[in-house]
A = this chain, B = another copy of it.
Amino acid sequence: MVKIAILGFGVVGSGTAEVLTENKKIIEERLGCEYSIKYILDLRDFPNSPFANLIVHDFNVILNDPEVAIVAEMMGGSHPAYDFSKACLEAGKSVITSNKEVVSNFGVELCSIAAKNGVRYLFEASVGGGIPVIRPIINDLASNKITRICGILNGTTNYILTKMRDKGASFSDALSEAQKLGYAEANPSADVDGIDAARKIVILAALACGKLISPKAIYTEGISKISLLDTKLAESLGCSIKLIAQAHVSPEGLTAFVSPCMVQKSNPLSRIDDVFNGILIDANMVGEVMFYGPGAGKLPTASAVVADIIDVIAHRDVEPKTIAWDAAADTDLASFEKFCSERVFISSEKLAFPNDIAIISEAAAESVYAYMTESISEELADKIASENKDTVLSVFRKI
């Protein structure tokens, strides 16, 4: 009988208790092993919950109980989630988390502490909610070098952009609607400013190349400045605007960033709509694969948390396979200024480009012009934008 503790009885924590209970019979059959939830840590009481009698308020009850082998941390935020996770790993308990903030900021240390203590630190639910992506990268793409990851990793912004495109809603109206539906927080900054997506892409990049970049160190641009004219011109150019998190692994090093992009309709990411997420991976042998599904939500995210719990239980008698990351050094990173991509410039007047830059296509609406260029560097795109700062309204990368 394996004993599990859950830290945090919010959306994902209560979902995890529900999945473990609802599907207990088939999970135990698959595992050939029984389990039970012994404690749920929360500051609040939940007198009407079927799990009311498992609630504890003191973390040390869990930490000091040698029967607890697995701790599922679903508290959110850095502290005390990081501190509790670290203490559990040091006490020889495996830790499962959906907390991208902790994984992206403290993943190197926590993976290393897990390895030293012969336990595991797993975080499938931290990226893409219920979509299997982290374990498939580790196991199923193990025969490949991953060269590129492009993902729609934030459901809130994807919902807003879908409403802007399909219903002609303004950014602020679409955001209000997302807030009403519970898709966006009262303070939506982490979502709409791209911070959540940045945390997720550095985790995926670390899985691809073993180097974890600080999410604060990557270029991160959100969607709050996107206008309806932008989405209209995107349509005319055969694109949808999506908030895309990218990681590129080249001989020059690693590049990761988050920005709204024009996504060509032929790219499967262009059709990932509403709150769904999609992760497109290019690897040297398989080519292009994509994982699609619900990027958030109570039961989907809990489904991924419980997959990690099952993984730990299934491998409880073997030496744990651990993830080993290094903190990315400056020398691991490629120059972002030299990173090249096709661009779309949106301008209030006709725009003259240097002669040697090829324009792939153009569009116009309401006396505003859009130009899609060949692949140019960040440096050159910035130069063109700043030289035309009185007329250029916005600039998008294109994938």
A residues with CB within 8 A of B: 19, 22-23, 26-27, 30, 124, 130-132, 135-136, 139-145, 268, 271, 283-294, 297, 299-300, 302-304, 306-307, 309-311, 314-315, 317-318, 321
B268 and A19 contact, CB distance less than 8 A: no
A140 and B135 contact, CB distance less than 8 A: yes
How many copies the complex holds: the figure is 2
Best-surrounded residue of A22, A287, A288, A302 (most CB of chain B within 10 A)? A287
Residues of B within 8 A of A22 (CB): 284-285
B303 and A139 contact, CB distance less than 8 A: no
* 5 pairs of residues in contact across A and B, judged by CB atoms under 8 Å: A130-B289, A139-B307, A268-B271, A285-B299, A314-B321
A142 and B30 contact, CB distance less than 8 A: yes
What is the CB-to-nearest-CB distance from A130 to chain B, in angstroms, rounded to a whole number? 4
CA distance A19 to B287 in the complex (A): 13
CA distance A313 to B348 in the complex (A): 60
Question: What residue of chain B has the Cβ atom nearest to residue A321's Cβ?
Answer: B314
B292 and A286 contact, CB distance less than 8 A: no
Question: What residue of chain B has the Cβ atom nearest to residue A25's Cβ?
Answer: B145
Given the interface contacts A130-B287, A131-B289, A288-B294, does A142 sit within 8 Å of B271 by beta carbon?
Answer: no
CA distance A262 to B300 in the complex (A): 28
A287 in complex: contacting residue of B142, B145, B294, B310, CB < 8 Å: B294
Residues of B within 8 A of A143 (CB): 19, 23, 27, 302-304, 306-307, 309-310
B130 and A286 contact, CB distance less than 8 A: yes
CA distance A314 to B143 in the complex (A): 12
What is the CB-to-nearest-CB distance from A127 to chain B, in angstroms, rounded to a whole number? 13
B293 and A139 contact, CB distance less than 8 A: no
Given the interface contacts A26-B145, A145-B26, A292-B268, does A139 sit within 8 Å of B311 by beta carbon?
Answer: yes
A300 and B271 contact, CB distance less than 8 A: no
A136 and B140 contact, CB distance less than 8 A: yes
Given the interface contacts A139-B135, A140-B136, does A287 sit within 8 Å of B299 by beta carbon?
Answer: yes
Residues of B within 8 A of A293 (CB): 286-290
Residues of B within 8 A of A142 (CB): 27, 30, 306-307, 310
CA distance A130 to B306 in the complex (A): 26
What is the CB-to-nearest-CB distance from A138 to chain B, in angstroms, rounded to a whole number? 9
Q: Which 5 A-B pairs have the closest CB atoms?
A: A132-B140, A289-B293, A143-B306, A130-B286, A286-B303
A141 and B132 contact, CB distance less than 8 A: yes
Given the interface contacts A139-B139, A271-B271, A311-B139, does A23 sit within 8 Å of B144 by beta carbon?
Answer: yes
CA distance A213 to B121 in the complex (A): 39
Best-surrounded residue of A268, A285, A291, A315 (most CB of chain B within 10 A)? A285
Given the interface contacts A136-B140, A314-B321, does A290 sit within 8 Å of B292 by beta carbon?
Answer: yes
Residues of B within 8 A of A291 (CB): 289-292
CA distance A289 to B144 in the complex (A): 23
What is the CB-to-nearest-CB distance from A331 to chain B, in angstroms, rounded to a whole number? 19
A23 and B300 contact, CB distance less than 8 A: no
**New A-B contacts (9) at CB < 8 Å, excluding given A19-B285, A143-B304:** A23-B144, A141-B303, A143-B303, A143-B307, A285-B300, A285-B302, A286-B299, A292-B292, A315-B318
Question: What residue of chain B has the Cβ atom nearest to residue A265's Cβ?
Answer: B271
Residues of B within 8 A of A314 (CB): 321
What is the CB-to-nearest-CB distance from A26 to chain B, in angstroms, rounded to a whole number? 6
Residues of B within 8 A of A141 (CB): 132, 303, 307
What is the CB-to-nearest-CB distance from A154 to chain B, in angstroms, rounded to a whole number? 17
CA distance A27 to B144 in the complex (A): 8
Residues of B within 8 A of A307 (CB): 139-143
Residues of B within 8 A of A23 (CB): 143-145, 284-285
